[in-house]
Amino acid sequence: MNWICKKFDELTAHELYAILQLRNKVFVVEQNCVFQDADNKDQQCFHLMGWEQKKLAGYTRIAAAGIFYEETSIGRVVTSPSSRRKGLGRELMIQSIDALHSLFGKGSAIKIGAQLYLKKFYESLGFMQTSDIYLEDGIEHIEMLLQKM
């Protein structure tokens, strides 16, 4: 797996297309969720991509404090359907946490808006639930926090 983290303005057209295609494939089509993915936040974020050969297998969007929450955050966590069941989700999150700490400092707390069914997965990475369940685009979510390290 080749991990690359870039600011929005550094993304190539090919990388941006692969990111949008994967997010659309999973969040809109697979999860049957109609929502505005292009939310004008991508331009302010870093984009972590995991490539297997020339195929985007995993992706996250990393944001500085103040963009989504008071804390730094990781969002748009997605793995390609063909790359699942191989531990990629865990590796993707570990790489994302490491990249976030490299960008913003190891002392940064990280807040996420997690789909409720992934609660145990995120807890296994050290995140703790910090909100009640809420609906986002028709899917149950919770906010979770990984305390400063």
**Binning pLDDT at 50, 70 and 90, where does residue 112 land?**
very high
What average pLDDT does range 96-111 have in this prediction? 94
What's residue 54's pLDDT?
92
Q: How much is the pTM?
A: 0.94
Q: What is the mean pLDDT of residues 4-13?
A: 98
Q: What is the pLDDT of residues 33-71, one digit of tens each?
A: 878 788 999 999 999 999 999 999 999 999 999 999 999
| Domains by residue range for the chain, with CATH | 2-107 (3.40.630.30)
Residue 85's pLDDT is: 86
Smallest Cα–Cα separation from 20: which of 56, 66, 71, 70? 56
Compute the mean pLDDT over every residue in the chain, rounded to the nearest whole number. 94
DSSP H or E run through 15: helix 13-23
pLDDT > 70? residue 96: yes
16: three-class secondary structure by DSSP = helix
Confidence at 13, pLDDT banded by 50, 70, 90: very high
- Return the pLDDT at 149: 58
Residues contacting 123, CB < 8 A, separation 6+ = 129, 144
Q: How does pLDDT run across 68-94, given as a tens digit for each residue?
A: 999 999 999 999 998 888 889 999 999
